[in-house]
Chains A and B, each alone.
Chain A
Amino acid sequence: MENMLVFLGGAGSFPVWIVSFLAVVAMTAVCARGRLAPFRGRIVICASMLFLAFAFFLLSFGLEEIEAVGSSARTAPRLWAAGLAFFTLDQLRRTLLGNAPEDPKTGDVKRVLIAAAIVAFSIWGMNTAGYLLSSGGMILLLLLLFGERRFLVLLSLTGGWTLFSWSVFIRLLHLSLPAGIYFG
């Protein structure tokens, strides 16, 4: 049991937790149909919170105890996880009974996801391309995504931001922003 807890709290188990979490989210989303469909978002959030509370509670058993300190590192996580589970279960009960606010109408979620993907790609690319190129590229792509087509505006905002961040953050404030392999 102890060995399993040590494994679950170690680096190797991280993908297992992520996959389990995604599975719980997907399963809940699929199950929330029919009468529960208007509450799908809320039910998924409750399931995610319950999963997190369970994970923290379970992992707290694997935390090292240091006798000399006289107080346990397990106390707070267990206390908060139990509280979170309690309030989430009550929230879930109310939602299942139809006493919670319905999810709002879905808007342009596709555009949100594309924007998030562009941003994530830009963060991923910062180590290679450096902050200046990467953020400039991100601004350009986001502007295009949001419908800006005027060439001068695209150029001035992208170039302007790059110039501003170089002069203020790098030259003036000496922030060590990622330089990338081309400028490093």
Chain B
Amino acid sequence: MNLLSLLFDGLGALMGLTPLLVILAGVAIGILAGAMPGISPSMAVALLLPFSFGMTPSMGLVLLCAIYLASNYGGSITAVMVNTPGTPSAVVTAFDGYPLTRKGRAGTALGISLIASVVGGFIGIIILVLFSTPLARMALKFWPAEYFALAILGLSTIASLGGGRWLESFMAVLFGLLLNTIGLDPLSGVSRFTFDVVRLYDGFSFIPVLIGLFALSEVFSGIESGEVGMPPLLPDKERSPWPSLREYLRLKYAMIRAGVIGTVIGVFPGAGGTIASFIAYDVEKRLSKDPDSFGKGAPAGVAAAEASNSSSVGGALVPLLTLGIPGSSSAAVLIGALMIHDLQPGPELFTRHPEVVYTLFSSLFVANIFLLFLGLLGARLWIKAALIPKRLLYPMIFAFSFIGSYAVRSSLFDVGVCLAFGLLGWMLSRSKIPVSPIVLGMILGTMIEKNLRTTIMMGGVSLFFRRPLSLALLLLALASVVIPFIRERKKIGEGS
């Protein structure tokens, strides 16, 4: 009851033109920033941080959280339309979103991604409001052994990503992990495989690699296949302008499952929306009656990816507000915003400044509603992008990709990396070697290596098996690789 009245008080604080405009602006900026490859949610929040100085603590936080929430959805727009994930967490959305666009069903993909984002966002916020404290306590019980096991569980999703091409997927993920070792060693600071090139000390920046492997490789494939000279695919305006209510309802369990997975994974510092979306996608594919449709335009794939990455925002705010530990890089920037306003994140925030906390919670609900409306308005505009002939679109994708690659570290080297990975992705996909496991390897590489070595230092390899949670996660990862493998072998055996 107390919780409800606090939430209503928070909502009351937002009932004015200025707070609503602040949220609206935050959501609009977030969508735009998320849609621009290279402008990550954390970068968007950081860029707008100075604007919060002149606001009250509540309003400043409301603005930044609205940007954070909306940018996770924004990343899916370019992922769906041009196979260029605007944010790393939108990588998984592209797996099925872009194939849907290629089938002329851009409206379906955008509609599902929007609704799943909103549903996921609500799930994340509800869990944040109701279970902040127990979830934060659970996250504190995680040792490096558990983080390692969690990352391995994330890695086990290659069984789904490769679309049945096991050997190629393992090859690709190990290639990604190997590439991730380039740069300074995360524990000792030793320079590895840099050939004394200073720009390589930080390793390959993730965004240029991502843009290259997903967007440019697709463009090169389009040029090779002669698609560049073909008329554009007409969106399905006549056949199904937008997903029907029945279609949304069919995906309700997928969204709820992914929403819960996203929130729980978002709670763990460092895990974030990207891992959440990979795991949620994997779970959905395994539960699906038609797993073969995943990667070829399965609506459930888009729903799972989007619901999980949006709900991870709520999850990331749990340790931030209750313990002062950021669950993601965007949350780390938010800690800065709290401190600028003399607010110390942690348990005392709830007792000393409940008005700030509950205004923030309420604003997330409002921001989600605004996201729905702005998303609906904007999506109709984005669908028109599918009408642009490829010969005009491809040069723009190159130019846009370069901005995205350059913006991360202001380095032309990264632009070159983007082009190189574009060509690599094109060559690999010609030989039917999946590129998404490379990305997965690069995302999880540091987390795996750091926690593996830390655990070994803490108590040897046996520590992974002595800690029940770590053992359970590792067994789960093993099962999620072995079971589909056995099932597939069985199917092949029956077929022959």
Chain A residues close to B by CB (< 8 Å) = 9-11, 13-14, 17, 41-42, 45, 49, 52-53, 56, 59-60, 63-66, 69-73, 75-77, 80-81, 83-84, 87-88, 90-91, 94, 101, 103-104, 106-109, 111-112, 115-116, 119-120, 123, 126-127, 131, 135, 138-139, 142-143, 146-148, 153, 157, 161, 165, 169, 173, 175-178
A45 touches B431 (CB 8 A): yes
B197 touches A11 (CB 8 A): yes
Inside 8 A of A139's CB, which chain B residues have their CB? 395-396, 398-399
Whether a CB of chain A sits under 8 angstroms from the CB of B376 is no
Inside 8 A of B479's CB, which chain A residues have their CB? none
Inside 8 A of B457's CB, which chain A residues have their CB? 70-71
Q: Which of B168, B195, B432, B456 neighbours the largest number of chain A CB atoms within 10 Å of its CB? A: B195
Chain B residues with a Cβ closer than 8 Å to the other chain, count: 63
Given A45-B431, A176-B410, CB of A115 within 8 Å of CB of B220: yes
Q: List 28 A-B contacts (CB under 8 A).
A: A45-B428, A63-B185, A65-B190, A70-B457, A71-B456, A72-B453, A73-B190, A76-B448, A83-B170, A83-B174, A87-B174, A91-B168, A101-B431, A111-B224, A111-B228, A119-B419, A123-B419, A126-B415, A138-B399, A139-B396, A139-B398, A143-B392, A146-B391, A147-B391, A157-B392, A169-B403, A176-B410, A177-B403
Whether a CB of chain A sits under 8 angstroms from the CB of B423 is yes
Whether a CB of chain A sits under 8 angstroms from the CB of B181 is yes
The complex places the Cα of A25 from the Cα of B188 at a distance, in Å, of 35
Known: A116-B419, A131-B402. 15 other contacts (CB 8 A): A11-B196, A45-B431, A49-B171, A56-B178, A80-B174, A83-B170, A84-B174, A87-B170, A115-B223, A116-B220, A135-B402, A138-B395, A142-B395, A157-B396, A175-B406
Nearest to B397 among chain A residues (CB) is A142
Whether a CB of chain A sits under 8 angstroms from the CB of B354 is no
A56 touches B395 (CB 8 A): no
B178 touches A108 (CB 8 A): no
Question: Which 6 residue pairs of A and B lie closest in terms of their CB atoms, listed nearest first?
Answer: A146-B391, A11-B196, A73-B185, A107-B224, A142-B395, A71-B453
Nearest to A15 among chain B residues (CB) is B195
The complex places the Cα of A11 from the Cα of B223 at a distance, in Å, of 36
Min distance, Cβ B34 to any Cβ of chain A, angstroms: 14
The complex places the Cα of A70 from the Cα of B175 at a distance, in Å, of 26
Min distance, Cβ A135 to any Cβ of chain B, angstroms: 5
Question: Which of B400-457 touch A at CB < 8 Å?
Answer: 402-403, 406-407, 410, 412, 415-416, 419, 422-423, 426-428, 430-433, 445, 448-449, 452-454, 456-457
Nearest to B403 among chain A residues (CB) is A169
Chain B residues close to A by CB (< 8 Å) = 39, 47, 167-168, 170-171, 174-175, 177-178, 181, 185, 187-193, 195-197, 220, 223-226, 228-229, 390-392, 394-396, 398-399, 402-403, 406-407, 410, 412, 415-416, 419, 422-423, 426-428, 430-433, 445, 448-449, 452-454, 456-457
The complex places the Cα of A69 from the Cα of B186 at a distance, in Å, of 11
Given A104-B430, A108-B223, CB of A56 within 8 Å of CB of B181: yes
Inside 8 A of B188's CB, which chain A residues have their CB? 64, 66, 69, 71, 73
A148 touches which one: B196, B392, B432, B452 (CB < 8 A)? Answer: B392
Given A9-B193, A41-B431, A45-B431, CB of A120 within 8 Å of CB of B224: no
The complex places the Cα of A77 from the Cα of B448 at a distance, in Å, of 12
The complex places the Cα of A10 from the Cα of B196 at a distance, in Å, of 6
Nearest to B190 among chain A residues (CB) is A73
B398 touches A119 (CB 8 A): yes
Inside 8 A of A178's CB, which chain B residues have their CB? 406, 412
B181 touches A146 (CB 8 A): no
A84 touches which one: B171, B426, B445 (CB < 8 A)? Answer: B171
Min distance, Cβ B340 to any Cβ of chain A, angstroms: 20
Inside 8 A of B225's CB, which chain A residues have their CB? 107-108
A13 touches which one: B168, B195, B454 (CB < 8 A)? Answer: B195
The complex places the Cα of A163 from the Cα of B361 at a distance, in Å, of 40
Inside 8 A of A84's CB, which chain B residues have their CB? 171, 174-175, 178
Min distance, Cβ B144 to any Cβ of chain A, angstroms: 11
Inside 8 A of A64's CB, which chain B residues have their CB? 188, 190-191
Given A11-B196, A71-B453, A77-B193, CB of A52 within 8 Å of CB of B426: no
Min distance, Cβ B17 to any Cβ of chain A, angstroms: 25
Given A11-B195, A123-B415, CB of A45 within 8 Å of CB of B399: no
A173 touches which one: B47, B415, B426, B454 (CB < 8 A)? Answer: B47
Inside 8 A of A13's CB, which chain B residues have their CB? 195
The complex places the Cα of A175 from the Cα of B47 at a distance, in Å, of 11
A126 touches B193 (CB 8 A): no
The complex places the Cα of A106 from the Cα of B225 at a distance, in Å, of 8
Nearest to B33 among chain A residues (CB) is A173
The complex places the Cα of A70 from the Cα of B455 at a distance, in Å, of 11
A126 touches B412 (CB 8 A): yes
A88 touches B220 (CB 8 A): no
The complex places the Cα of A91 from the Cα of B192 at a distance, in Å, of 28
B178 touches which one: A80, A90, A116 (CB < 8 A)? Answer: A80
Q: Which of A17, A63, A103 neighbours the largest number of chain B CB atoms within 10 Å of its CB? A: A63
The complex places the Cα of A65 from the Cα of B177 at a distance, in Å, of 21
Min distance, Cβ B231 to any Cβ of chain A, angstroms: 13
B430 touches which one: A41, A108, A143 (CB < 8 A)? Answer: A41
Nearest to B426 among chain A residues (CB) is A112
Inside 8 A of A107's CB, which chain B residues have their CB? 224-226
The complex places the Cα of A139 from the Cα of B427 at a distance, in Å, of 23
Given A71-B453, A73-B188, A173-B47, CB of A81 within 8 Å of CB of B178: yes
A9 touches which one: B170, B195, B419, B453 (CB < 8 A)? Answer: B195
Given A11-B196, A71-B453, A165-B403, CB of A42 within 8 Å of CB of B174: no
Inside 8 A of B454's CB, which chain A residues have their CB? 71
Inside 8 A of A120's CB, which chain B residues have their CB? 416, 419
Inside 8 A of B171's CB, which chain A residues have their CB? 49, 84, 87-88, 91
Nearest to B419 among chain A residues (CB) is A119
